[in-house]
C-alpha cells in the first residue's frame, strides 16, 4: 500500500432495488454522475423522502440508504 | 335537455371554425382537445411523429425507476416548449403510492397539472374511486391541479369537481381495450352537471369513437393505445386529430332530430309529369 494512502470506507446502499457500494463521502450528485445520469432528468428519494435537486451537492449518502432514482418514461 | 353550460349557442367560438374554439384547463387556454399518451410506441422517433400529427398540446408520461442501461431519456428528446407534460400515476393501487409518485414527478420540473389514476384491479384496470378521492384531497392541499381518471360515475365526478379538481376524466371503456364509448348516458350525465372540463380518458379504439365522445359535449379526449397500436400509428394520430375536431364541430352545430320515417331532401312539388 502506498504510504499515506487511506482507503475509503465503503458504504452499502440500495439504488432502485439493487445493492451498491459507494465510497464514504459520496453525495447524491456524485452518485448521479457515477451512474451517468443527467441530474435534470431524474428525481431522487432517499429512504422515502425526496432529496430536492438543490440539495444533491450537499447531501452525503449514509450506510444503508435506500434510494429511488426515477424519471419520466412513455405512458398513457 | 336542461343543459346550460353545454348549450352550443352559449359557447364562445360558436359559429366559427375550429380555430377559435379554445378551451381552458387549469387556467391554460388550449386549442387542441386531444390529449395523447407517449406509451407503447416503437421508439422515440415514432412517438414524436405521432405527437406531431395528433396536434396535441398536452401529453401524458409515466414515472419509473431510471433505466441505467438506457441512454435515450424521454426528457432529452421531448420538446417541452411545445408539449405540456402530464405525469400519470399508472400502476398505483393506493392513494399513498399515487401521492408519492406525483411528488417525485414535481421534482422533475413539471407544471402543477397531474393525472391521478389509482387502479383497483389488475385485470380490468378499473379505478379505485375511494382511493382516488383520498389522493385527490391530499394533492389539492399540496397545490396540484388534479385531473382524476375515474369510473363513468356522475356521483364520483361531482364529488371530485366539488373538491376542486381541475377536470374530471371518466373512462369510456377499460384502459387499452379500444371498446369505445360503452355508456354514453353516464358521460352525458357527467357533462350536464359539470362545472369543470370533462375529458374522456381510456376506451377510445378508433376515430369514430373519438367523434362520438366529443359529440356528447365533453371538452376533450385522452388516448394512447388507439394510436400506438394502430397498424399505422402516425396516420391514426392524424385521424384522431380530425375526429376530435369533427365531433366537436358536430356538437356545436347541433345534430338534426332523429325520426322514425324518411323525409325527402328534394322538393316534393314540381315533379315532371
CB-hemisphere CA count at 13 Å for B90? 21
- What pLDDT, in 10s, does the model give residues B120-142? 999 999 999 999 999 999 999 99
In degrees, rounded to 5, the angle at the alpha carbon of residue A17 between the alpha carbons of residues B60 and B74 is: 25
Q: Is residue A65 part of a domain?
A: yes
Q: Write the ipTM.
A: 0.91
Tell me if A1 is assigned to some domain. Answer: no
Which residues pair with residue A44 across a beta bridge?
A51, A69
Residues of A in contact with B108 (CB under 8 A): 41-43, 70-72
Where do the H-state alpha helices sit in chain B? 44-54, 74-77, 95-107, 129-141, 154-163, 184-193, 207-215, 225-228, 233-253
Active-site annotation holds for B48: no
The verdict on B177 touching A (C-beta cutoff 8 Å) is no
pLDDT (tens digit, 9 = 90+) per residue, A7-60?
A: 678 999 999 999 999 999 999 999 999 999 999 999 999 999 999 999 999 999
A70 with B66: Cβ contact below 8 A = yes
Q: What span, in angstroms and rounded, lies between the C-alpha atoms of B36 and B41? A: 12
CB B173 within 8 A of CB B182: yes
Residue ranges of domains in chain B, CATH in brackets: 19-252 (3.20.20.70)
In a domain, A61, yes or no: yes
Which of A37, A69, A74 has its CB closest to that of B47? A74
By mean pLDDT, which of B66-80, B172-186, B199-213 is the weakest?
B66-80
Please state the domain count of chain A: 1
Print the domain residue range for A33.
Answer: 10-71
Half-sphere exposure of A16 toward its Cβ, with a 13 Å CA cutoff? 14
Question: Is residue A2 assigned to a domain?
Answer: no
Q: What CATH number is associated with residue A33?
A: 3.10.20.30
A59 inside domain: yes
Indicate the helix (H) or strand (E) that contains B223.
strand B220-223
- Distance (Å, whole) CA B234 – CA B232: 6
Question: Are the beta carbons of B181 and B173 closer than 8 angstroms?
Answer: yes
Q: Is B81 helix (H, G, I), strand (E, B) or coil?
A: coil
Amino acid at each position: 500500500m502506498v504510504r499515506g494512502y487511506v482507503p475509503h470506507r465503503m458504504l452499502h446502499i440500495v439504488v432502485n432495488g439493487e445493492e451498491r457500494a459507494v465510497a464514504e463521502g459520496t453525495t447524491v450528485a456524485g452518485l448521479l454522475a457515477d451512474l451517468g445520469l443527467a441530474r435534470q432528468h431524474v428525481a431522487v428519494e432517499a429512504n422515502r423522502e425526496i432529496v430536492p435537486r438543490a440539495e444533491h451537492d450537499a447531501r452525503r449518502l449514509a450506510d444503508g440508504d435506500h434510494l429511488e432514482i426515477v424519471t419520466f418514461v412513455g405512458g398513457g | 335537455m336542461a343543459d346550460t353550460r353545454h348549450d352550443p349557442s352559449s359557447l364562445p367560438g360558436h359559429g366559427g371554425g375550429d380555430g377559435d374554439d379554445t378551451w381552458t384547463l387549469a387556467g391554460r387556454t388550449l386549442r387542441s382537445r386531444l390529449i395523447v399518451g407517449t406509451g407503447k410506441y416503437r421508439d422515440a422517433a415514432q412517438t414524436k411523429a405521432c405527437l406531431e400529427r395528433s396536434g396535441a398540446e398536452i401529453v401524458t408520461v409515466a414515472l419509473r425507476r431510471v433505466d441505467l442501461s438506457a441512454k435515450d431519456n424521454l426528457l432529452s428528446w421531448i420538446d417541452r416548449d411545445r408539449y405540456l407534460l402530464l405525469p400519470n400515476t399508472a400502476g398505483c393501487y393506493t392513494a399513498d403510492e399515487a401521492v408519492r409518485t406525483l411528488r417525485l414527478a414535481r421534482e422533475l420540473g413539471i407544471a402543477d397539472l397531474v393525472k391521478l389514476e389509482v387502479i383497483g384491479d389488475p385485470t380490468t384496470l378499473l379505478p379505485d374511486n375511494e382511493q382516488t378521492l383520498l389522493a385527490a384531497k391530499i394533492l389539492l392541499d399540496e397545490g396540484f391541479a388534479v385531473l382524476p381518471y375515474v369510473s363513468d360515475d356522475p356521483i364520483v365526478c361531482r364529488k371530485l369537481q366539488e373538491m376542486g379538481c381541475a377536470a374530471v376524466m371518466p373512462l369510456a371503456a377499460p384502459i387499452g381495450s379500444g371498446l369505445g364509448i360503452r355508456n354514453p348516458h353516464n358521460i352525458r350525465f357527467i357533462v350536464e352537471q359539470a362545472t369543470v372540463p370533462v375529458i374522456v380518458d381510456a376506451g377510445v379504439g378508433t376515430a369514430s369513437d373519438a367523434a362520438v365522445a366529443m359529440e356528447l359535449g365533453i371538452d376533450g379526449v385522452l388516448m394512447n393505445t388507439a394510436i400506438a397500436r394502430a397498424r399505422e400509428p402516425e396516420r391514426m394520430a392524424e385521424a384522431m386529430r380530425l375526429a376530435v375536431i369533427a365531433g366537436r364541430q358536430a356538437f356545436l352545430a347541433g345534430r338534426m332530430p332523429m325520426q322514425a320515417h324518411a323525409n325527402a331532401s328534394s322538393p316534393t312539388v314540381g315533379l315532371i309529369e
